[in-house]
Structure 1
Amino acid sequence: MLMIQRHGVPLEANGLSATQNLLARPDTAPILVIGAPTGAGKTFGFQKLIENTGCIVLFIVPTQALARNICESLEKARLYAKQWDSEQTRAAVERGASTWTERLFSLTVEARQRGGMIVATLEAFHGITLGYPGKSRTDFDVQDVLTNVDWLVFDEAHLLNERAMGFMALWATLVGFRRQHFNGRTRLALLSATHSAWVDFLVRRDENNLISLPPEWVDYQTETIVDLPATAEAPPGVRPMHGEVSVELHQGEIREWALELVPALLARHRRVLLVYDSLAEFGLDEPLLLKVAQAAGLQRKQMFVVNSQDKQIGETAGSARIPAGWEIPDQSRLIIGTSAVEVGMNLAHATALVTDEGFNAAALLQRIGRAARGDLPGEVHVVCDARRKTPHIHRLERLSGTCSIGAVVEHLKSPSLIPFNIGRARLLGSAYLDMLARQNRHLSKGLDAMLTEIEQREGQRPLSGRSLLGLARREVEQFRGRLSSSLRRWLEAIDEQLRDLRGFTPTVKVRFRDTPVIQCSLDFVSRRLPIPDDYDHDVLVYRRPRDQCLKKRAEPFSVPVIAPFGQDAIRDVWSEADLQEKYRLLVCNHRDGNRKELQNVVRFATASGLVPRAPVKAANVEQSGSIVAYSNPV
């Protein structure tokens, strides 16, 4: 069994850590990469900076729940906070107001008056880069960010993947150049407890790389963490972050171990966290979990569920009707969730965790970091599949005895906590910039001028102008023949894919028995639900609770796709990786796949991993894949 040692963060004379104090120094590099375990106070550092200096922070987060939690924390401290997300969009539309006009006013007027924080989802902030405000006749662009914001912060930066590299390279270049050479106002911070390898990708000086930022533009700051004895008082000047945590591996299925472990854990702990990798598996187990909790003496109101479906309606869509949402009530003793709990959740007093293995090492570490926050001891039980152990589980098995949190993190790297494909990052990054040249011509023109000046000053352009998608586009423009319209449609679909930084799948409206309508992933519906009992306009209607509708095992499904040579359907798809591979084979094996005049089209289509989906007309599928669909993209 592994024991993660109790640990804390040293504080300086003003009660803040070295990293928190670093934020107030004007002489840092333009770009700060900040690494610290969960509970180290990365977000709190910016809150104190606002209190002390009245600065403006634009804080980018992956979820609405995290945005809401941060805003509430700042408001309790009587600081200005404003959310930019789909909820704000919906409220503005209901008032007959302009989303972008409100956002511009909050940044340039309200925050400017006394400092504060704008907390935005990635999609909301990305809309500025894509030029959406101008299309809504609002004079709000990248320049407004760079002249009004002191810190542009990406929280949980490890969640960004290869699709976002062009976007991140763009902002790193804009901020770095202006700050380094013209004393620009804005600095960029990347925060995470489990940084991905893409951060190092930003500063590689390699002529074959998409990005080659000058090294002096980037500083790395890792929070100092000290190990503490398990029982003694923490020494003066050290704030405990986590108590001692035991980690034990179990082989089998999480439902089996939940039956055995949860009652005993509830008897020993005030609050227990149960985390599934699969929402469908939780859905099947929902009635069983209610019985387990009730047998342990819990009432239904002492349970709480966190996942992307049930949070929309305030309770689970299955027969157990367990309370659900994002805001966990104090009375909740058994919290059941999916990967949604990994970021943005207030899990105070959760000192026991039973969890599936997670999709990668970073996800598992984030879950472990949710248990035993502060100075409370805890226990973690990780359930893994004995038949198909993932690499990070194999590495975890080799750890035993007492280890520091730093040693655990280093051991789980192989070579990084999250898989990262450098070749794909180069390809998609350059493709993103190629798309942006057409999407936001004004920004692209200014960027070209800036890159030329950087090359003159630094001797190397920080962003490569080479783009395989650009070469493919020229082939399509020059092509004449029966494939012309299919090729142009494919290019349009690729641009749409590149505008989506996270790769959302389409969603569809579903209603189970006695529930409001919820948005579900189309892939979830295709793999785990039968043909609906009825259709109500654009809603799939099921006359039974969700747990009674779900298939016991996932089934392959068919995906209509847009390929360079026309629309097609890929059958028997099991996963996103399976879809990408079958799409690659579809293009390679097509009778036109070896045409020399379209060689770059084929190269991009087969190497990028992007799979444009054809519109699905049934049940009014929302192609953008947003959790809550609106006509406005953000």
Structure 2
Amino acid sequence: MDVIIARHCVAAGEDGLSPLQRDLIEHPARIRIAEAPTGAGKSYAFQRALRDRGHRILFIVPTRRLAQNLANGLSNDLQDAGWSRQKAAQSVAIWSSDQTAVLRSQGVASINGVRLLQMTDLGSFDGGMIVATPEVVSGLLIRRRVEAGQAGEGVFDMLEQFDHIVFDEFHSIEARGFGLAALFARLATVQLDNRVGFGVSRISFLSATPLDLKPTLVDIGIPEEAIALLRERIVPDGRPLHGDVRLSLVDSPSLYDLVLDHLNEVVEELAAGRQVVIVYNRLVDLEKDLPALSRKLPEAGIDPARVLVINSVRDSTAKGRHQGGFAIGRQRDPLAYDLILATASVEMGVTFRNADFMLMEPGFEAMSFLQRYGRAARRGANGRVIVRIEEQRKPWLRAVVDWVRERPGERSTIAALTQVLSRSVQAEFSPHNTASTFGQLSSQAKWCTALYWSVLLEHASNRQPRRGHLLAHQPKGAGAFYRLEQRVRQLADEPGLTEQVNHWLKLFHAQAFDLRTIEPKIRVVSDTGEAYDYPRVWLQRETEVFERGIETGDEIHIQGGLDDYWREDKDRHAKRDWICHFPHTTRTLRLPCDERLVNRWCDELEDIDPYEFDWEDHPQALEAVQKLVRLTGLVPGHDPEISLDAVSGVL
């Protein structure tokens, strides 16, 4: 089954900018939600804002790899434009855990101090960009220890220091992590005595597969008129984004089999100087296929040293070499390699050199399909994308299959493909969703924003008058959230409950520090010297490492490689647990950390320790406790592998 997605372009002015790119730089709205196809140059617009206009930008991205890639690309772009290497280096900074490790290795005692100094000094005269992960930005606002001379630095300074605060790939935002974005958006749009909004920053949300974010922003109190919806217009002629791409849907036993079926075409593409990208759905499938690929690819004349493996495990190291000779590591530049073997890690804005041929699995969600497809045939080149289709298809994938089957060999448009993918997602949400969006944030985003605001108010950096501003301009829902917490605090008046109630609320507030649901990892160290971080539950489900290895703290030591430890049958009982705490008892429960966690916790709330406490005497407190957990979707507690002291110590 084939369909051809026709070549498509965007208009470009004399300066090379498209209408959307110019809007991202110049549009006066304080909040901009931008939608454009992959390859449209959304992030490049802000590089031009720095280079041409001296703007200062805080560019927030979901992954360390993307932060590294963007920073490297920007530095190279500035040097190509005639900037010296030193000047370019002084104008670009990275805020990520990688850079934290570098600073620590250099003996820097106050890493937050360095970052605050970068914020105020970076590119003082000619502009600058800080590329950051959300956790680092949030940490500066609500987790850092306030040091002498830094007490006042915080969100108001960021809004004043940066011309633009950008959330790239914003479709990856979770409801629990929306508080950071909501904070900037709210303070940038409140009505003040003589102006609208604190500071000067314009807040932009970028994605090729956008969520319908406007209803959530309005729900926390941002005026509709403050939000601009920006969309790139596709035209027949202009600056090309993609050439004609033949999209083929193929039944195949596995992606490995599909690769072997098309190995000659892979070799031809590489011989022509182009890249080839192969994208797996599952980490375990790619990892199990690496040994066989390390044999088959060289047999076909492909140099393993020119192959880069990109996935969450291999990216847990900065740079390295797989046993099969493949390059690995999050600091490896994809542009420098010929063949890319990857998982969903490449969906988050990773750009390739000239990948006109792609073999891929479809992803688990419609937006993943489009993000993967959009990595191929950039800048007007023609290409081919071959998708392995599984027998058990999700509704959105069945819609794509039916759509392709109805027009065999015909030409269609990227807009039509996007509509097919987004329509199936919209059916799960409001029928009033904006066209071409891929769902909405849940209502929990509003209440997680209130929690984030509450934690921000407690931080030492927000003394008067900053605290007064934050109180005066709280998001909608913050008042109701505060009243619910106060009802819970009334339990502290009961004999012997003061410490436990305060402890529970402290753990509840600690949930605001985790912006994303990330499974805990453990480092597997081989006697060959290799060491990688693996998801703990994944290891339990797929391997016998825990049974046969030697566990020492955060590490497991094994003989040989992980390939010697695969299970014949998956351990279906492997699951992540959560140590749950309660406001009225010191007893805890270990419950499965899944979509039913909140309901299970609420069920247990009334039954745990019934001889010591009677909720019938405190109906309002019971209702408040349940509402706080249900509204936010957050259960106070911690992972079994993380000590309670470590969780409590963050506040």
Do they superpose with TM above 0.5? yes
Aligned equivalent of 2:216, options 198, 201, 205: 201
Counterpart CA distance in 1 for 2:532 and 2:240 is 41
Counterpart CA distance in 2 for 1:601 and 1:252 is 51
Show the counterpart of 2:172: 159
Seen in structure 2, the aligned counterparts of structure 1 residues 56 and 259 have a Cα distance that, compared at 3 Å, is: closer
Aligned equivalent of 1:577, options 576, 586, 595: 595
How far residue 451 of structure 1 moved from its aligned partner, in angstroms, is 6.5
Letter in 1 for 2:413: S
Does the alignment pair 1:340 with 2:345? yes
How far residue 253 of structure 1 moved from its aligned partner, in angstroms, is 5.0
Q: Deviations over 1:544-564 (max 9, x none)?
A: 311222334253225242232
Q: Deviations over 1:265-321 (max 9, x none)?
A: 314423221212221222222212223323433132232100122123467897535
Aligned equivalent of 1:367, options 345, 363, 372: 372
Does the alignment pair 1:545 with 2:561? yes
Q: Deviations over 1:21-76 (max 9, x none)?
A: 22443x61111111111111111111112122212111111112222222222222
Letter in 1 for 2:207: S
The equivalences for 1:419-458 within 5 A come to 419-439=439-459, 442=462, 446=466, 449=469, 452=472
Query: Is residue 488–residue 501 contact of structure 2 (8 Å, CA) maintained in 1?
Result: no
Counterpart CA distance in 1 for 2:247 and 2:539 is 35
Seen in structure 2, the aligned counterparts of structure 1 residues 244 and 262 have a Cα distance that, compared at 3 Å, is: same
Letter in 2 for 1:61: V
Counterpart CA distance in 1 for 2:239 and 2:394 is 35
Seen in structure 2, the aligned counterparts of structure 1 residues 406 and 515 have a Cα distance that, compared at 3 Å, is: farther
Show the counterpart of 2:13: 12
Seen in structure 2, the aligned counterparts of structure 1 residues 136 and 241 have a Cα distance that, compared at 3 Å, is: farther
Show the counterpart of 1:457: none
Seen in structure 2, the aligned counterparts of structure 1 residues 419 and 511 have a Cα distance that, compared at 3 Å, is: farther
Aligned equivalent of 1:511, options 512, 519, 525: 525
Show the counterpart of 2:421: 412
Instruction: Give unmatched runs, 5+ long, in structure 2.
Output: 427-432
Show the counterpart of 1:84: 95
SS at match of 2:165: strand
Letter in 2 for 1:86: S
How far residue 407 of structure 1 moved from its aligned partner, in angstroms, is 2.1
Counterpart CA distance in 1 for 2:70 and 2:463 is 31
The equivalences for 1:243-254 within 5 A come to 243-251=243-251, 253-254=253-254
How far residue 107 of structure 1 moved from its aligned partner, in angstroms, is 2.2
The equivalences for 1:437-516 within 5 A come to 437-439=457-459, 442=462, 446=466, 449=469, 452=472, 463-468=476-481, 471-472=484-485, 474-479=487-492, 480=494, 487-516=501-530
Seen in structure 2, the aligned counterparts of structure 1 residues 12 and 468 have a Cα distance that, compared at 3 Å, is: same
The equivalences for 1:383-394 within 5 A come to 383-387=388-392, 389-394=393-398
Show the counterpart of 1:305: 309
Counterpart CA distance in 1 for 2:527 and 2:258 is 27
Does the alignment pair 1:138 with 2:150? yes
SS at match of 1:346: coil
Letter in 1 for 2:525: R
Show the counterpart of 1:458: none
Letter in 2 for 1:522: R
Counterpart CA distance in 1 for 2:622 and 2:233 is 53
Of 439-448 and 528-537, deviating more is: 439-448
Letter in 1 for 2:241: M
Aligned equivalent of 1:220, options 218, 221, 229: 229
How far residue 241 of structure 1 moved from its aligned partner, in angstroms, is 0.8
Show the counterpart of 1:65: 65
How far residue 371 of structure 1 moved from its aligned partner, in angstroms, is 0.9
Seen in structure 2, the aligned counterparts of structure 1 residues 610 and 265 have a Cα distance that, compared at 3 Å, is: farther
Show the counterpart of 1:56: 56
The equivalences for 1:271-310 within 5 A come to 271-310=275-314
Letter in 2 for 1:425: A
Does the alignment pair 1:170 with 2:187? no
Q: Report the TM-score, using the length of structure 1 for normalisation.
A: 0.85
Counterpart CA distance in 2 for 1:337 and 1:568 is 38
Seen in structure 2, the aligned counterparts of structure 1 residues 536 and 162 have a Cα distance that, compared at 3 Å, is: closer
Q: Deviations over 1:204-236 (max 9, x none)?
A: xxxxx4x13112211111112124xxxxxxx4x
How far residue 172 of structure 1 moved from its aligned partner, in angstroms, is 0.4
Letter in 1 for 2:305: K
Counterpart CA distance in 2 for 1:177 and 1:361 is 35
How far residue 248 of structure 1 moved from its aligned partner, in angstroms, is 2.6
Show the counterpart of 1:324: 328
Identity, in percent, stands at 25
SS at match of 2:391: coil
Aligned equivalent of 1:350, options 355, 365, 390: 355
Of 514-523 and 132-141, deviating more is: 132-141
Counterpart CA distance in 2 for 1:182 and 1:212 is 13
Instruction: Give unmatched runs, 5+ long, in structure 1.
Output: 204-208, 228-234, 455-460, 625-630
Query: Is residue 534–residue 541 contact of structure 1 (8 Å, CA) maintained in 2?
Result: yes
How far residue 88 of structure 1 moved from its aligned partner, in angstroms, is 2.1
Aligned equivalent of 1:105, options 111, 117, 126: 117
Query: Is residue 8–residue 240 contact of structure 2 (8 Å, CA) maintained in 1?
Result: yes
Query: Is residue 69–residue 344 contact of structure 1 (8 Å, CA) maintained in 2?
Result: no
Seen in structure 2, the aligned counterparts of structure 1 residues 184 and 579 have a Cα distance that, compared at 3 Å, is: closer
Counterpart CA distance in 2 for 1:444 and 1:378 is 59
Q: Deviations over 1:107-133 (max 9, x none)?
A: 212322321111111111112321525
Show the counterpart of 1:74: 74
SS at match of 1:153: strand
Counterpart CA distance in 1 for 2:154 and 2:350 is 32
Query: Is residue 188–residue 198 contact of structure 2 (8 Å, CA) maintained in 1?
Result: no
Alpha carbon RMSD of aligned pairs, Å?
Answer: 3.3
Show the counterpart of 1:185: 200
Letter in 2 for 1:567: T
Q: Deviations over 1:424-480 (max 9, x none)?
A: 22332223323333345727973654674x7xxxxxx75333445751553244253
Counterpart CA distance in 2 for 1:246 and 1:301 is 29
Show the counterpart of 1:628: none
Seen in structure 2, the aligned counterparts of structure 1 residues 465 and 20 have a Cα distance that, compared at 3 Å, is: same
Does the alignment pair 1:533 with 2:549? yes
Letter in 2 for 1:422: S
Letter in 1 for 2:164: W
Seen in structure 2, the aligned counterparts of structure 1 residues 385 and 443 have a Cα distance that, compared at 3 Å, is: farther
Seen in structure 2, the aligned counterparts of structure 1 residues 411 and 584 have a Cα distance that, compared at 3 Å, is: farther
Seen in structure 2, the aligned counterparts of structure 1 residues 587 and 608 have a Cα distance that, compared at 3 Å, is: farther
